[in-house]
Amino acid sequence: MKLLKWLLVSFLCLITIVLFKTLSFTREEISLLPLLDDSPINKGVVSERLSQAIQHRTISYAKASDRNPEVFLEFHHFLATSFPLLHEKLSLKKINKLSLLYKWQGSDDSLKPILLMSHQDVVPVDDETKSLWTHPAFAGEISNDIIWGRGAIDIKSGVMGLMEAIENLIAQGHQPKRSIYLAFGHDEELGGEQGAKKIADYLKKQELTFELILDEGGSIVSDGVIPGVNSPIALIGIAEKGYVSLKLTASGAGGHSSMPPKHTALGEISQAIVNLENNPFPANLTYSKQLFKNIGPAMGTLKKAVFANMWLTEPLVENILSASRNTSASIRTTTAVTMAKGSSKDNILPTEASAIINFRIMPEETIDSVTRYVTNIVDNPKIKIEKLADFGNNPSAVSNSNSDSFQRLEQTIHRVAQDKDMIVTPYLVMGGTDAKHYTNLSDSIYRFTFSRFRPESLIQMHGINEQISVADYMDTIKFYRELILIMD
Ligand SMILES: [Zn+2]
């Protein structure tokens, strides 16, 4: 009887705590401050210039022989003629011939500079998908207040938006106190080794460090891109995952397949693959917890109760997030078996079999720790495990989401959006950006562009019918202009 009473009291206590946590899981009311600069931007002129930028086919082809450096030089010429004030006031250094590094000298050298990034190149449009575009991919057509074409969101709108903002500020007579650098790589879509990496090397040589580095990699999502939340969410990337592919190789005696051993070399490799798929990397909920702390209050009551009580529900949340491949990728190093090879003929036993597995590495882990984990799970001395080629990078450092720069970035987003429902939150970027090359140049490296994504627009990135609305593009320009003023 005493035990029953005790259990009942404990249960009631638990319910009270859960209820209390759920009810107090609310958002701070945000006060919407006006823009520091709300002077007009000529919608027609800036849209037309973005349309022209899209028509420059600065394509990063996978095959080197397909690439054309000429188009980048023509694009540079186009920028110089489109933004005369900027090219008069700012100094320009071309890095590795095709990447651009601008500097707007500030009046106060005691202030650390900021670096705003974007990239000139775009991904190709496959021949098979060309006919599926409503407007041709490189025509830059503007129709019903939408600018169409490859690079509209990824990311000519970033290069052009930054330049428009600065041209506009110069025209108004603005002179920054803090120096501003603009860095536009030319091979982001190929990993940035020839562009951003070389720019970063140059900046390191100058012994520069930055108050803020801002690249692409986060944006505003709405309408259920994150299920259960209808408020728009500005996702600011504070870190990005690393990348490595490992090659697993097993040797066999070979010979005729009429008298096979119990396990061929390919069989050994297959077992290793099964083991790896069945033993995913352990979950790390650090970044998800941060995200849910911010978006949880905008969810329905049940989900709100779950996320308000992570002290109790963490195993449940881990299970839910692990169940879908999108969310699973946000909490662990992912394992993707992508290629495999056996013998060259159906009746020949393989003398060698191999598989290639691609891993996207969580912060706090490294290529070495991933290799160790894989070696342990494969647990087969007959299988050689090695890194594929020279390619691969450790995850980026994690930038602080409580820094002064983060707060200024958040404030800029609110001032431009003017939306009380807008949630701003740090998050982990799943893909790779040029920002990974800038580690050590700043403690505050963030990834965000002021573009809006709904579920249907997400697939346009690197896909067909890439487009940006004129309204969103205007906000992109306003965002950069406001950020420059707020950082000053
Ligand atoms: Zn991009």
Q: What is the pLDDT of residue 14?
A: 85
Q: What is the pLDDT of residue 484?
A: 97
Please identify which residue in the block is written with the tokens 């949340």: 317
pTM above 0.85, yes or no: yes
Question: Taking 90 as the threshold, does the pLDDT of residue 110 lie above it?
Answer: yes
Comparing CA positions, the residue from 201, 205, 165, 156 lying closest to residue 41 is 165
> Ligand 1 centroid vs 459 CA: distance in angstroms?
14
Please give the C-alpha separations between residue 170 and each of 86, 97, 173, in angstroms, as whole numbers.
Answer: 7, 27, 5
Residue 82, both tokens: 């489109």
Band (pLDDT 50/70/90 cuts) for residue 327 is confident
Question: Taking 90 as the threshold, does the pLDDT of residue 455 lie above it?
Answer: no
Band (pLDDT 50/70/90 cuts) for residue 326 is confident
Band (pLDDT 50/70/90 cuts) for residue 442 is very high
> Ligand 1 centroid vs 48 CA: distance in angstroms?
21
- Rounded Cα distance, 100 and 110, in Å: 25
What is the mean predicted confidence (pLDDT) over 447-452?
95
- Rounded Cα distance, 169 and 163, in Å: 10
Name the active-site residue from 37, 121, 189, 268.
121
Sheet holding 334-341, edge to edge: 334-341, 352-361, 242-251, 383-387
Q: What is the pLDDT of residue 270?
A: 97
Whole-number average pLDDT of the chain:
93
Contact 463, 246 (CB under 8 A): no
18-24-26-28 Cα dihedral, nearest 10 degrees: -150
> Ligand 1 centroid vs 2 CA: distance in angstroms?
64
Q: What is the pLDDT of residue 283?
A: 95
> Ligand 1 centroid vs 298 CA: distance in angstroms?
29
Q: What is the pLDDT of residue 27?
A: 84
Least confident of 249-253, 305-309, 327-331, 461-465: 461-465
Contact 448, 236 (CB under 8 A): yes
What is the mean predicted confidence (pLDDT) over 57-61?
96
- Rounded Cα distance, 230 and 388, in Å: 42
Q: What is the pLDDT of residue 50?
A: 98
Comparing CA positions, the residue from 353, 381, 488, 437 lying closest to residue 119 is 437
Question: Taking 80 as the threshold, does the pLDDT of residue 237 lie above it?
Answer: yes
38 has catalytic annotation: no
Q: What is the pLDDT of residue 69?
A: 96
> Ligand 1 centroid vs 409 CA: distance in angstroms?
20
Number of C-beta neighbours around residue 66 at 10 A:
10
Q: What is the pLDDT of residue 64?
A: 92
Q: What percent of the chain has pLDDT over 70?
A: 100
Q: What is the pLDDT of residue 192?
A: 94
Q: What is the pLDDT of residue 4?
A: 86
Distance of CA 382 to the CA centre of its chain: 38
Residue 395, both tokens: 């995850």
Residue 18, both tokens: 């859960």
Contact 220, 450 (CB under 8 A): yes
Band (pLDDT 50/70/90 cuts) for residue 9 is confident
> Ligand 1 centroid vs 123 CA: distance in angstroms?
9
Q: What is the pLDDT of residues 187-204, one digit of tens each?
A: 999 999 999 999 999 999
Residue 27, both tokens: 């958002």
Q: What is the pLDDT of residue 390?
A: 72
Band (pLDDT 50/70/90 cuts) for residue 224 is confident
Question: Taking 80 as the threshold, does the pLDDT of residue 339 lie above it?
Answer: yes
188 has catalytic annotation: yes
166-167-173-179 Cα dihedral, nearest 10 degrees: 30
Q: What is the pLDDT of residue 29?
A: 83
Question: Taking 80 as the threshold, does the pLDDT of residue 405 lie above it?
Answer: yes
Please identify which residue in the block is written with the tokens 């998050």: 427
Which one is predicted more confidently, 222 or 340?
340
Which residue type occupies 227? P
Q: What is the pLDDT of residues 174-184, one digit of tens each?
A: 999 999 999 99
Q: What is the pLDDT of residue 467?
A: 94
Least confident of 169-173, 223-227, 324-328: 223-227
> Ligand 1 centroid vs 120 CA: distance in angstroms?
9
> Ligand 1 centroid vs 164 CA: distance in angstroms?
19
Band (pLDDT 50/70/90 cuts) for residue 44 is very high
Question: Taking 90 as the threshold, does the pLDDT of residue 325 lie above it?
Answer: no
Q: What percent of the chain has pLDDT over 90?
A: 78
Residue 124, both tokens: 């190709």
Q: What is the pLDDT of residue 459?
A: 73
Name the active-site residue from 154, 164, 167, 188.
188
Please give the C-alpha separations between residue 70 and each of 75, 84, 102, 306, 429, in angstroms, as whole numbers.
Answer: 9, 22, 20, 55, 32
> Ligand 1 centroid vs 244 CA: distance in angstroms?
20
Comparing CA positions, the residue from 27, 24, 26, 25 lying closest to residue 414 is 27
